[in-house]
Amino acid sequence: MEKKITVLAGDGIGPEIVAEAIKVLDKIADKFGHKFDYTYVDIGGCSIDKFGVPITDEGMQKCKEADSVLLGAVGGPKWDNCPPAIRPEKALLAVRKELGLFANLRPTKLFSQLADSSPLKMSIVGNGIDLMIVRELTGGVYFGERKTEEVDGELVAIDYMPYSEHEIERIGRVAFESAMKRGKKLHSVDKANVLDTSRLWRKTMHRLAEEYPDVEYNDILVDNTAMQLIKNPTQFDVIVTENMFGDILSDEASMLTGSIGMMPSASLSSGTLGMYEPIHGSAPDIAGMNLANPIGTILSAAMMLRYSFNMMDEADAIEAAVNKALDDGYRTGDIMQDGCTKVGCKEMGDVILNNI
């Protein structure tokens, strides 16, 4: 297969970690007989420096024309005082909007080799954590009308939280399909005891559940979910939820694994086009020092193969190679443990590459 990938390396450690992911993708192409064509586009601070905007119209067009987009990270202190309209993160929101990326998939995996770097006790996470949060990304309170007005001599602020059936149904389908590809268990998170949007959410999910009899479906309230993620995270396989609940729960879940450098993510559209990126930022404190952990980005590339290109064996091969690197005791600084071999960003990329 031949695929076009637009690469947004970005700022800080972005170019270093993306370079390792590309090396791994090239090895996959070699081994499985594919061809990946890369188009590099500036995004974030580096684009502001060159063009005065965080992404150019031509750059955006290259994202739309691609089969998939791979992102490193954007931002850094140099651009912290840019006017709001041209801040580096503006480009990310623009790409998500222009590409119609309504579904955010965040796998939360605590590799058993790294169990002691979790803030939770070994008795809770000793067997590792492996769950996926599917967050609705373009609806709800973040996109509803908002206003602040004076009522009876005091200010009153209102944020509307609209959800339509079709928005719930399309994210629901992504979640059920995702559960089918994983452990066939889905928790749908809402606040149906209080919110109308949640009651519509639950009704729509129940209708979908009938189409997926192989998936074990559960409703769960958001407050209980926040508690259960700490108390018993291994009970979860796939969690689906609306935008704001997902924002909060996915950050909570990512902390269970100890290191932000390990975690990939995918943002998907209704077609096969998606954007894939590690969940961390540009880490300016370690940029250009060969210290970054490239695993989150390499695992994001694996998600790209699985979700945009339907290359399951290829994605499995990358994940197995990462697992073997950890089994063999290779660690970047952020996940270093006694008795392990400390390696830099490039060397970790090489170890994973050689495992494929």
Residues at the contact surface with ligand NAD, assessed by CB under 6 A: 13, 17, 73-76, 89, 92, 260-261, 277, 280-286, 292-293, 296, 334
Note if 251 is an active site residue: yes
Nearer to ligand NAD, 178 or 282 (CB): 282
Alpha helices (H) along the chain: 14-32, 45-51, 57-65, 88-98, 122-125, 165-181, 196-211, 222-231, 243-255, 295-307, 312-327, 345-355
Reading phi first (left if > 0) and then psi (alpha if -120 to 50, else beta), residue 346 is in alpha
In the complex, the smallest distance separating the C-beta of residue 118 from ligand NAD, rounded to whole angstroms, is 16
In the complex, the smallest distance separating the C-beta of residue 119 from ligand NAD, rounded to whole angstroms, is 15
Find, among 275, 224, 265, 281, the residue nearest to 89 by Cα.
281
In the complex, the smallest distance separating the C-beta of residue 260 from ligand NAD, rounded to whole angstroms, is 5
Q: Is the dihedral of CA 204, 210, 213, 216 positive or negative?
A: positive
In the complex, the smallest distance separating the C-beta of residue 76 from ligand NAD, rounded to whole angstroms, is 5
User: What is the β-pairing status of strands 264-268 and 274-278?
Assistant: antiparallel
Nearer to ligand NAD, 161 or 286 (CB): 286
Nearer to ligand NAD, 59 or 296 (CB): 296
Point out the catalytic residue in the list 251, 313, 316, 328: 251
- C-beta of residue 168 within 8 angstroms of C-beta of residue 240: no
- Decide: residue 37, CB within 10 A, 0-12 exposed, 13-18 middle, 19+ buried: exposed
In the complex, the smallest distance separating the C-beta of residue 177 from ligand NAD, rounded to whole angstroms, is 25
Note if 159 is an active site residue: no
Note if 223 is an active site residue: yes
User: What is the β-pairing status of strands 238-241 and 216-221?
Assistant: unpaired
In the complex, the smallest distance separating the C-beta of residue 329 from ligand NAD, rounded to whole angstroms, is 18
Nearer to ligand NAD, 205 or 321 (CB): 321
- SS3 of residue 103 by DSSP: strand
Nearer to ligand NAD, 17 or 303 (CB): 17
Note if 247 is an active site residue: yes
User: What is the β-pairing status of strands 2-10 and 264-268?
Assistant: unpaired
In the complex, the smallest distance separating the C-beta of residue 126 from ligand NAD, rounded to whole angstroms, is 24
Query: Within 13 Å of residue 198, how many CA atoms lie on the same side as its CB?
Result: 15
- C-beta of residue 318 within 8 angstroms of C-beta of residue 302: yes
Point out the catalytic residue in the list 26, 142, 324, 346: 142
> CB count, 10 Å around CB of 306?
21
Phi, psi for 341 (deg, rounded to 5): -100, 120
Cβ neighbors of 150 (< 8 A, separation 6 or more) are 156
Q: Which residue is nearest to ligand NAD (CB)?
A: 281
Nearer to ligand NAD, 205 or 299 (CB): 299
The encoded tokens of residue 221 equal: 């309230």
Point out the catalytic residue in the list 37, 116, 223, 327: 223
Point out the catalytic residue in the list 247, 324, 342, 346: 247
Nearer to ligand NAD, 220 or 291 (CB): 291
Note if 64 is an active site residue: no
Point out the catalytic residue in the list 185, 191, 324, 342: 191
Give catalytic residue positions.
142, 191, 223, 247, 251
